[in-house]
Amino acid sequence: MALGIANAAGPRPQRGGVTGASPDRYNASWVTGVSEDAGAKAQSIKLGDHSTDATDFAYYSFRNWWNQKLTDVIKIRASFLPAAGAVNQGGSPRISLEVEDVVDGASTGVIYLDPKFCGKAAAGGWVDSDFTGDLSTACSINDSNGRVFTGDGHQSAWSKLVSDPAYAGKRVYFAYLIQDATTGANYVDRIYLDSAFFTKQP
């Protein structure tokens, strides 16, 4: 089963942009008052906030979460909410996880963690995605080489991916939220990258 991932032209995040600096971002910001946790002070990341320009392309990158083996990654979760009127094509928004062969090597491929293909409806229009722990057949993970990994009720899509020979020994190179085939905006909340938890502006 082939699942399409759309990619539009636009500036791309780079790991060098967050080394020893604040998170690299484009057309994205933390906003207050929109969150799955509710409450007037609760926050989430808004992609496509038009603070940089009038386009809807946006990304937000994560600092210092790299160089660990894919097999050591234990938790990647996030919750997604399209803003009113948003139109999302497959692959947008998502977490893009670039991988490498060796520490400090160049990225050799991208894993697409997309709530459209791995997510469960939650209250208030949110979609909760447990990309590493969802065992169901409703969770699939795609990569930039056209491979698709799907849970089977006993083994998660993520487990199948990291046990594939193509990913043997590979490490996380860079991770970021991105929307590149969206009209409108999206909110992203409750982001877990292993022990790091992003639920408010750092």
16-73: per-residue pLDDT in tens? 888 766 678 899 999 999 999 888 899 999 999 877 677 799 999 988 899 999 999 9
Domain assignment present for residue 86? The answer is: yes
At residue 3 the predicted structure's pLDDT band, cuts being 50, 70 and 90, is very low
> 161: left (phi > 0), else alpha (psi -120 to 50), else beta?
alpha
Closest CA to 10 of 47, 59, 80: 59
At residue 2 the predicted structure's pLDDT band, cuts being 50, 70 and 90, is very low
Q: What does the block give as tokens for 189?
A: 């909340």
CATH of the domain at 118: 2.60.120
Beta strand spans in 116-165 (E): 120-121, 127-130, 140-143, 148-150
**56: Cα separation from own chain's centroid:** 17
At residue 14 the predicted structure's pLDDT band, cuts being 50, 70 and 90, is confident
Percent of the chain residues past pLDDT 90, beyond the cut: 71
Q: What does the block give as tokens for 56?
A: 């809807």
Domain assignment present for residue 40? The answer is: yes
Domain assignment present for residue 87? The answer is: yes
- Give the range among 5-9, 27-31, 177-181 with minimum mean pLDDT: 5-9
d(C-alpha 159, C-alpha 133), whole Å: 9
- C-beta separation of 55 from 10 below 8 A: yes
- Classify residue 75 by burial, with Cβ atoms within 10 Å: 0-12, 13-18, 19+: middle
The CA R_g of the chain, rounded to the nearest whole Å, is 16
What's residue 63's pLDDT?
A: 85
- Residue 177, domain extent: 25-195
**Dihedral angle of Cα 130, 134, 138, 143, to the nearest 10 degrees:** 70
Q: Global pTM?
A: 0.90
Domain assignment present for residue 59? The answer is: yes
Domain assignment present for residue 81? The answer is: yes
Domain assignment present for residue 4? The answer is: no
Measured in degrees and rounded to the nearest 5, phi and psi for residue 36 equal -65, -20
Q: What does the block give as tokens for 84?
A: 């009113």
d(C-alpha 67, C-alpha 84), whole Å: 37
Closest CA to 76 of 134, 137, 117: 134
Q: What does the block give as tokens for 190?
A: 């409750």
Domain assignment present for residue 38? The answer is: yes
Mean pLDDT of all residues in 111-123: 97
Domain assignment present for residue 182? The answer is: yes
Q: How many domains does the chain have?
A: 1
What's residue 113's pLDDT?
A: 98
